């Protein structure tokens, strides 16, 4: 067992990454190398910021821990708030973030370790 204390780890600004647009985005890996099966991180989106169109090689679970956000796929989008859980199947084209809600949003992202992300054109 490994306990990762709140003061461990580093929150890193990720706004410049190709996947993000519209504002500041910060991320913190929670599991690091403690799990060989899962990767868990918390991602914080400033109002207007989002992860643009992308897909993953594994399922992705998004659990909203604060604020108001949006998530969408090619069929439409949904407003999400604290306590909501989104299950994105592997290979599904999607986006998520604070987008146009006027609120910041933070979520946990849970994926299979080693999952690859492909950034797509809108």
DSSP assignment string, 50-84? EEEEEEESS-EEEEEEEEEEEEEETTEEEEEETT-
pLDDT recorded at residue 113: 95
Q: DSSP character for 46?
A: -
List average pLDDT for each run of 10 residues in the chain, which is 122 residues long.
Answer: 89 97 97 92 98 98 98 98 98 97 97 96 83
pLDDT recorded at residue 89: 98
Per-domain residue ranges of the chain? 12-113
Instruction: Give the tokens for residue 58.
Output: 């594994």
pLDDT recorded at residue 94: 98
pLDDT recorded at residue 33: 85
pLDDT recorded at residue 9: 87
Q: Which CATH number fits domain 12-113: 3.40.190.10, 1.10.10.10, 2.160.20.10, 2.60.120.10?
A: 2.60.120.10
């Amino acid at each position: 067992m490994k306990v990762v204390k709140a003061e461990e780890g580093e929150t890193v600004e990720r706004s410049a990454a190709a996947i993000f647009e519209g504002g500041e985005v910060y991320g913190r890996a929670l599991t690091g190398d403690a799990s060989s099966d899962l990767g868990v991180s918390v991602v914080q989106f400033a109002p207007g910021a989002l992860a643009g169109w992308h897909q993953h090689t594994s399922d992705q679970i998004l659990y909203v821990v604060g604020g108001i956000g949006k998530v969408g796929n090619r069929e439409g989008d949904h407003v999400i708030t604290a306590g909501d859980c989104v299950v994105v199947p592997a290979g599904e084209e999607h986006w998520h973030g604070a987008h146009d809600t006027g609120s910041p949003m933070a979520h946990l992202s849970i994926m299979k370790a080693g999952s690859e992300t492909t950034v797509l054109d809108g």
